[in-house]
Amino acid sequence: MKELILGGARSGKSRTAEQHAIDSGKQVIYIATATAGDDEMAQRIEHHQQQRPDHWRLIEEPFALTQTLQQQAAEDHCILVDCLTLWLTNMLINKESELALSVFELVEVLPMLPGDIIFVSNEVGNGIVPADPLSRRFCDEAGRLHQNLAQVCDRVTLVIAGLEQSLK
């Protein structure tokens, strides 16, 4: 089962994804894409760490997402990736020239990977169009990434106010 869980900031999407991972009954591998660039982000990371069960395996990977999925995917594993929009941000800022190929590889490889994979991502297309070019590019890239992944995922869920809405 491949699943994409979308939602706004503090919508409950990570908690929903974590519950789906627990419900899988499989060994959970948590791939964290965040980097602690400032104190506020470090606090967010710490909050997520405190919520996760201690027995989950943690891999911190801000860039090589597809390669990490290929290395870790197994029939008895549930991989939880939190979050795609932070991975996208990392790529846009640090490896922009590799972004298109990285997204293409992720979408192409995902259906062939064994086991369960759950992606968490921020839905950013419900707000106003950002004023600056980088933010507009980010919104465009996130929208395209979500559309492409939604096509290859078995299940797509939108979380609003902690409530799951099944889209697919």
Q: What is the mean pLDDT of residues 127-143?
A: 92
- Quick one: pLDDT at residue 69? 98
> Which amino acids are annotated catalytic?
48
Residue in the structure block whose two tokens are 């991989």: 79
> Positive or negative CA dihedral for 129, 131, 133, 138?
negative
- Domain extents in the chain: 2-166
pLDDT-based confidence at residue 105 (cuts at 50, 70, 90): very high
At the topology level, CATH places domain 2-166 in: Rossmann fold (3.40.50)
pLDDT-based confidence at residue 1 (cuts at 50, 70, 90): very high
pLDDT one-digit tens code per residue, 21-72: 999 999 999 999 988 777 887 787 787 777 888 899 999 999 999 999 999 9
pLDDT at 128 over 90: no
